Chain A
Amino acid sequence: MNSSKVVLEFKNVSKFYDVSRSLKEILSGNKPQVKAVENVSFQISQGESVGILGESGCGKTTLAKLILNLLKPNKGEIFFEDVQINKLSDRKNIVAYKRKLQFIFQNPYDSLNPRFTIKEILLEPLKALGFAKINYDEMISNVMQLVKLKNQEEYLHKYPHELSGGQLQRIVLARALIINPKFVVADEPVSMLDVSVRAGILNAFNEAKSKMNFTAIYISHDLALVKYVCERTIVMYLGSIVEDGPTDEVVKNPLHPYTKALVMAVPVPHVNQSHEPLPIKGNIPDATKIYKGCKFADRCPKAKEICFNDNPKLEAKSQMNHRIACHFV
């Protein structure tokens, strides 16, 4: 993308899940697979914030798990700072990798141990990743300031059930940022929260990002939120990237027919808004379906014969950093 250093690189990565087979399929030797991520390649540079956008089942969470090395890809290679992470084997290297990378979970109510006090929760990553003990107190007080939790002492001895959803999500954010990571993956961090609280979390995230200059991946199904947090957006459909470009471009001038429908479908808080029917047919098909051509062809209003037979490559069409996978752009 831009000239700064590439932090994360996916090279033709695929991840397939086996699904349980019917008797007929077992007898005929068929092995249906869900192609959660198929042949995905991209690069993310230092300091970028990238939104991964897609509907449920498009493979965005699988992608996050691949980055975190929680899943091994079936095919392809994943590089983090020029180290191939899916080949990391000894514990020392894995810990070194995890010291650079942190994750923010979707549901703050489920992702904090109810029997730990907030202080214990925040100490956990420091202990697990072997940080020097002398710095603990300072690191905690810094990170609590960063996520805008005032009256620290009051919070540190409480248990998760004593805090509200918004406060909990700030703790989740603090736990991720306390080790000063280089790379943060956030999976729908505000989808469980109320609107009036959401804005606070997003602002804290943005502020922390500009202060600490980490690289961020923000996974969401909500284009409006992605636009608020990320400068670049990757749109996924059924395990493949269909469009990848600067967020403003993707929102203002979506080129892939799927992205167009997605942008149109987002309701806006205005009285005057388009009620035009969406340029998209049907529903998301069965995930085990095998495609020869473009995965979106069945639902695409523009599809011609070539779309059903030939899978379009993800290519830059108009500008260097705006890539689209479609024959007709």
Chain B
Amino acid sequence: MSRDLILRVVGKLLLPFVLLFALYVQFHGDFGPGGGFQAGVIAAAAIIFYAIIFGLNAAKRIVAPAIVAAMVPLGVTIYAGVGIAGILLGGNYLDYFVLAHDPVHGQELGIFLVEAGVFVTVSGTMTTIFYTFAGRGR
């Protein structure tokens, strides 16, 4: 499939918009539908799309498997870390009110960080699973 001219051109045109849409879904999740989970899947889909068109090795050169594998535990750590930060600042576990001076701002910050954690883990896991499956060969 890597010699398919139309796919390559259209893929190159589409990919920035797919990644931008993932970021939009991530950061606009507070106002519209979406959030870390959906955004993570869309970002992973962009990488998988690239790997299918341009080959697995080309994708691995851009997004190294080691980085993706490190993202899998990193996201959970961010999420759990927000909870522990809540304890350290004098609240309960996963209590966002204490994260900023204003409780509402604390909630916004907490939700933002937690969604970022979900994004990191989900996109890392999906890409890792694809890399492992596709990299095995027959």
> Are A and B co-members of a single complex?
no
- Which B residues lie at the A interface, using CB under 8 A? none
- Which A residues lie at the B interface, using CB under 8 A? none
